[in-house]
Structure 1
Amino acid sequence: MNAHHHVQSPATTRDDDGLARWDDDGAPPAQPRSSPHLWLRVGAELGDRLVALSGRPDLLVTCRPGTRSGAPAAYFPTLGEVEFDARLFAPLQPHEIRPRVVGDEERYPAAWGVFVHEAAHAAHSVWTAPAGADPRVVEAALLLEESRVEGAHLNRRPTDRTYLRTSARTLVMPDIAHPTLKGIEHAAAAAALVLGRRDVGILDAGETRAVADLCEKVLGADLLATLTRIWTASHRCADDDATSMLAHAQQWCDALDAAAPALPVPENLTDLLSGAVNVVMDSTAATDTADLAAQAAATNAIAAQSKAQAQNRAQRAGQRRKAAATAKSVFNTRNTTVTPDGTPAPYRNPVTGTRKPTTAEQSAAARLSRALRAAAYRERTEERTTSPTPPGRLNMRAALARDAQRAAGSVPTAEPFTHTRRRNTPTPPLRVGIAVDVSSSMRAACAPVASAAWIVARAAALTDPDSLTATIAYDTHLTALTRPTHRAPQRVTAFSANGSSHNLANAIDALDHGLELSRPGTGRLLVIVTDAIYTTDETTQAVTRVKQLTTAGCAVLQLTLTAKSHHLPGTTMLHLTQPSSAPAAIATAATNAIRRTR
């Protein structure tokens, strides 16, 4: 088993020696058989990433086709060098590889997994065997070191688990297929390499079942349990604890020597181990593929959600811009009727004139103002705090407890002074929008709604200077009957209902923008006076706006005057048998809206 080849002492190959002799003969420098200079940049960028992986800035990474050690990669502690076989990147070419770019490693997970494994050696293979140590014991210690360093690396960087699993497929299989150890030691080494990675969390127990069953059959349950205890103990060794690592390695060799004579070795052990490890690696590959697919699906779902949210935000922004334009055109200074796109439509104006408010309307406005003021009143809040020192009211029980604590020699924790802080809660202003349908089926609502609009606007202005109300008459076009100003209207605006079709959606947009019905912090109410006998498109658009307002916390009331009226989903429907009761119903709803405000 050549697992120990991943940690190397300085060595040279025959090619290096031959080139050196050639140079000594005075001939021109020999050209290398491959083109390692193309990989110099890749090696330099790998070295930059090695700093983060290993925590060591003093290491050099050399990347070229083939390695001096013969292993896919190797770490030379005395040279401070990590040697990496460029062929692991196949089929990618040097110019296609950018290791310095975080995330580029996802295109070559096998190569990056081996690199992470060598980074684990560079960070945690700190101990060195003393001179004169038994080579067999040192080899066993290096075998145990394989899973130990990966477990230590996983504790530091748990997100590298996927790459360490990939490196297991790249590194373990060649060691199984071309072993340097024979017989029982071969099976024990396979157990250390595969099951040791299981016990540090690199591989799953279910994935390694084939190797575990085969090793138990070949080694026996008792010997496998002993070896498991040994590699588990080695996982707890410190990085620089050479004594403990060699002691565990000695126990490893002693356990194998004691059990080997009594254990028959299958003639085809290498084939059996290769088959079992192949099953393990296929299982891990399938698991990783499924995990990648799940991760890709989750990433795609998040991306789709983000895209949908961005589109939703863009749509809402577009709606807000359109609502602002609609509000600007509806609440114009010329008192004109406008189309949904803001174009004046003077020949469809439902306003028939203005009149002075009656004594009853003035009294109703005064009563509503008092009711709104009472509903908006908030008690002062009290906040009590304790402290060990004045100011504050002295609590004798806490003072005695503090004296007792001090007499007992403990740190006093009692706080005998109580301070009460009272704060006034601001009175919430009111926002009431009224949208009245002026199609021909709503003629009975004209007079009471005109009166209600004036009463609510007058009462709101008398209650709080920050309160705002507005009324819009809508059919195909939009007309502002009262505007969102802080001044109380002096006259009642009368109107008629002779229109056709309905444009409630744009009326709600104008009221929402003009009164900020979607913004919390005020008592918000939208009153819709309509029989809701709309087309499907008109209903859909209106219900969408109503849902947005109710989601934002605005109360929406629908007043109907006929039994044949339809209910707009999302609204609180109130059927009025007498149109003259509309002002009282709107006043009650406004009072409840401001009372619920917190």
Structure 2
Amino acid sequence: MSAHHHVQPSATTRGEEADLARWDDDGAPPAQPRSSPSAWLRVGAELGDRLVALSGRNDLLVTCRPGTRSGAPAAYFPTLGEVEVDARLFAPLQPHEIHPRIVGDEQNYPAAWGVFVHEAAHAAHSVWTPPAGADPRVVEAALQLEESRVEGAHLITRPTDRTYLRTSARTLIMPDIDHPTLQGIEHAAGVAALILGRRDAGILDAGETRAVADLCEKVLGADLLAALTRIWTAAHQCADHDATTMLAHGQRWCDALDAAAPALPVPENLVDLLSGAVVVVMDSTAATDAADLAAQDAATTAVAARSTAKAQERAQRAGQRRRAAATAKSVFNPRGTTVKPDGRPAPRSTPVTGTRRPTAAEKSAAARLSRALRAAAYRERTEERTTSPTPPGRLNMRAALARDAQRAAGSVPTAEPFTHVRRRNTPSPPLRVGIAVDVSASMSAACKPVASAAWIVARAAALTNPDSRTATVAYDQHLTALTRPTHRAPEHVTLFDADGGHHNLGDAIDALDHGLELSRPGAGRLLVIVTDAQYGSDETAAAVARVKRLTTVGCAVLQLTLTTESQHLPGTTLLHLPRPSSAPAAIAAAATDAIRRTR
């Protein structure tokens, strides 16, 4: 029923052959077949480059011109190794806007590309040719079956081309439906082959082809439609070179129609009914494709949004790290001065009031804490047992006897009688403890115990592991380093008072995080915040964001409070100390627990 076949036996039409014959003897230059404008030569050449991947052949030429010699939107000439494409399929694009060599450019002209993929499927799989003298009606039927067969075969190797083959169906089928060469029952059977055959080949969906299936069942009858379905389903399994089998399927097709046609009434408006049903199918296919494209665009947009968000998050983290490094550098300055977060000296005096020598009780507490930290950091040796057929190792007599028995039986010995145990020491993890103490006026009771605790923890950490480090930062509106993140314990206890105003816990945490690497795994990490958390909303939000970042990477965060009116910072472990003097013991216990839980 096809008005045009997509596999053409020759490269010239009958009209062109007549023109050539008429001009042969009149002395004028011979007439030339219509050729494409020069602007389309590049498009055809680039399509030829892409045809290699689509068809698996590198011996084909592609021509692209307005109009085709075959009259079809596109055609494949097996004898010439040529594929021709009608340039009008690319409308409204102009040649300079078309670049097929660029992968992905085909999305700008899906209809033209779908037809091109269809011809590539013919070039790859329409290898069989009808023998001379074959019944033209049988060949016509076999070529109808070939349309869906080659597309199904193409999907096996290039399943991503399904979208374009669905688009090509709308371009290739409708002209043949509106201007059929076959009439009556054969017309309806041809529509079934083109539409329902593509359904069974996986090009179209069953729901999309319901209108044609229902109409063909009414016109052809359920039995004939089932018989035709079996024929095109069998044709889909035919090998590319098997002309005999394809012609046999064509003969079965003709026989089934001849047997059933006399008993089937033909509606007077059959062409209109078939055209309407096919239009419904094509509209449904277009709607499905549009929905899929919208879903794909939404998914692409979502992926791009996530990628952008991740890039922004990475940039934000990098900016935070840079700001934290600058803050740590300014706070732990060699002069020991109080600074603003931007590194400039603070306009007021430091909260540090002086230093004193540690007491005997503090030295004793540091020694006890050091022993506790060493015990918590101790890791058992790991044992690794391996077996081998040869020494070294301890001989296992059962395995040795099994090996001898395997040899006696003539089999390859697999028993490994020697066992070797390798014991390895697990290094003790170092400790990182950062203490941020609020020195606003409401925290005066914490000054002495926190000063003592800072020295005790720093001394114990230095005695426990040479890689351990601690630091203490006093904060109100400004920042002051009380102890520094060095490997040496301070010689004196730094004393300070609390008479500041406002708070800057966020920057204090940044300084301790960067100075002690609290965000980096591999050590027992603890951040102690001594505060009543009587902050404004912005100050609280900045502190909570940094606490969350530390707890996410495994750093323990402890908040010590001295009064019942204190607020709890979300994300921290709250510990209320009715007696300020118990602060050193609480901090020591938290540090011991942090290093014990380190893996």
Fold shared per TM-score above 0.5: yes
Name the aligned partner's letter for residue 6 of structure 1.
Answer: H
Closer, same or farther in 2 for the Cα pair 1:118/1:457, shift >3 Å? same
2:9 corresponds to:
9
Distance in 2, Cα, partners of 1:232 & 1:280? 20
Aligned to 1:80: 81
Structure 1 stretch displaced more, 351-360 or 376-385: 376-385
Amino acid at match of 1:513: H
| Mapped pair 1:485 → 2:486 | yes
Q: Structure 2: how far apart are the matches of 1:412 and 1:239?
A: 53
Q: What does the per-residue CA deviation read over 1:368-405, in whole Å, with 9 as the maximum and x for residues that have no partner?
A: 11111111111122233344554444444445555566
Structure 2 letter corresponding to 1:317? A
- Give me the whole-angstrom Cα distance separating, in 1, the residues matched to 2:250 and 2:398: 68
TM-superposition CA deviations, 1:481-501 (whole Å, max 9, x none) = 011111111111111101000
Distance 1:116 1:433 in 2: 66
Q: For residue 251 of structure 1, report the CA deviation from its aligned partner.
A: 1.5
Confirm or deny that 1:531 pairs with 2:515.
no
Cα–Cα, structure 1 residues 282 and 391, in superposed 2: closer, same or farther, change >3 Å?
A: farther
Note if 1:516 corresponds to 2:517.
yes
Does the C-alpha gap of structure 1 residues 163 and 480 become closer, same or farther in structure 2, counting only changes over 3 Å?
same
Structure 1 residue 519 displacement after superposition: 0.9
Indicate if the aligned counterparts of 2:452 and 2:493 stay in contact, CA closer than 8 A: yes
Q: Secondary structure at the match of 1:238?
A: coil
**Aligned match of 2:172:** 171
Specify the alignment match of 1:281 in structure 2.
282
Q: 1:265 to 1:327 in 2, by over 3 A?
A: same
1:53 is aligned to: 54
- SS of the residue corresponding to residue 5 of structure 2 reads helix
Q: Is the 8 A contact 2:118 2:165 kept in 1?
A: yes
Equivalent position SS for 2:64: strand
Code of the aligned partner of 2:445 = A
Aligned twin of 2:371: 370
1:494 aligns with 2:495: yes
Q: What is the rounded CA distance, in whole Å, between the counterparts of 2:510 and 2:25 in structure 1? A: 90
Question: Residue 383 and residue 269 in structure 1: after superposition, are their counterparts in 2 closer, same or farther (change >3 A)?
Answer: farther
Whether the aligned pair in 2 keeps the contact of 1:116 and 1:164 (CA below 8 Å) is yes
Q: Higher mean Cα deviation, 4-13 or 522-531?
A: 4-13
Counterpart of 1:10 in structure 2: which amino acid?
A: S
Counterpart amino acid of 2:9? Answer: S
Specify the SS of the correspondent of 1:74.
Answer: strand
Distance 1:243 1:446, change over 3 A: same
Of 521-530 and 17-26, more deviation after overlay is shown by 17-26
d(CA) in 1 for partners of 2:288 and 2:355?
79
Q: Contact 1:558 / 1:572 at 8 angstroms: preserved in 2?
A: yes
Distance 1:393 1:211 in 2: 80
Shift of 1:27: 3.5
Is the CA contact (8 Å cut-off) linking 2:3 and 2:179 kept in structure 1? no
Q: Residues 428-443 of structure 1 correspond to what in structure 2 (within 5 A)? A: 428-443=429-444
Displacement of 1:422 in angstroms is 2.6
Distance (Å, rounded) in 2 between the aligned partners of 1:393 and 1:491? 56
Q: Secondary structure at the match of 1:100?
A: coil
Conserved? CA contact 1:4–1:139, under 8 Å: no
- CA distance in 2 between counterparts of 1:194 and 1:80 reads 28
Contact 2:43–2:98 (Cα < 8 Å) also in 1: yes
The answer (yes or no) to whether the contact 1:3–1:146 under 8 Å persists in 2 is: no
Residue 218 of structure 1 deviates from its aligned partner by: 1.1
The AA in structure 2 aligned to 1:517 is L
What SS is found at the alignment partner of 2:423?
Answer: strand
Q: Which residue of 1 aligns with 2:266?
A: 265
Deviation of 1:424 (Å): 2.2
For these two proteins, the number of residue pairs brought into alignment is: 598
* 1:330-341 pair list within 5 angstroms: 330-341=331-342
551-560 or 29-38, which moves further after superposition? Answer: 29-38
**Partner secondary structure for residue 6 of structure 1:** coil
Contact 1:3 1:142 in 2 (8 A): no
With structure 2 as the length reference, what TM-score do the two structures score? 0.96
* Cα gap change, 1:82 to 1:438, in 2 (>3 Å): same
TM-score (norm 1): 0.96
CA RMSD between the two structures: 1.9
Deviations 1:450-499 (A, max 9, x none): 01111111111111111111100000000000111111111111111010
* 1:247–1:391 distance in 2 versus 1, CA, 3 Å: farther
- Given residue 233 of structure 1, which amino acid in structure 2 is its aligned partner? A
Paired amino acid for 2:337: T
How far apart are 1:150 and its partner, in Å?
0.7
Asked if the contact 1:192/1:231 (under 8 Å) is kept, the reply is: yes
How far did 1:269 drift?
A: 1.2
1:315 matched to which residue of 2? 316
**Structure 1 residues 229 and 32 mapped into 2: Cα distance closer, same or farther (>3 Å)?**
closer
After superposition, the Cα gap between the structure-2 partners of 1:403 and 1:215, relative to the gap in structure 1 and judged at 3 Å, is farther
Q: 1:517, 1:549 within 8 Å by CA — same for their partners in 2? A: yes
- Distance 1:271-1:384 versus aligned 2 partners, 3 A rule: farther
1:528 maps to amino acid: I
* Counterpart code for 1:68: R
Alpha-carbon distance change, 501 to 15 in structure 1, aligned in 2, over 3 angstroms: same
Q: Which whole-Å CA distance do the structure 2 matches of 1:139 and 1:485 have between them?
A: 91
CA distance in 2, matches of 1:229, 1:494: 96
| 1:419 aligned residue | 420
Q: Deviations over 1:152-186 (max 9, x none)?
A: 11111111111011011111111111111211111
Check whether the contact 1:543–1:570 (CA below 8 A) recurs between aligned residues. yes
Q: CA 1:59–1:393 in structure 2 vs 1: closer, same or farther (change >3 Å)? A: farther
Deviation digits for residues 495-546 of structure 1 (CA, Å, limit 9, x no counterpart): 1101000000000001111111111111111000000000011001000111
Q: Cα offset for 1:128? A: 1.7
Is the CA contact 1:53–1:119 (under 8 Å) kept in the aligned structure 2?
yes
Alignment of 1:516-595 (within 5 A): 516-595=517-596
Per-residue CA shift, 1:72-117, capped at 9, x if unaligned? 0011111111010000001111111111111111111111110111
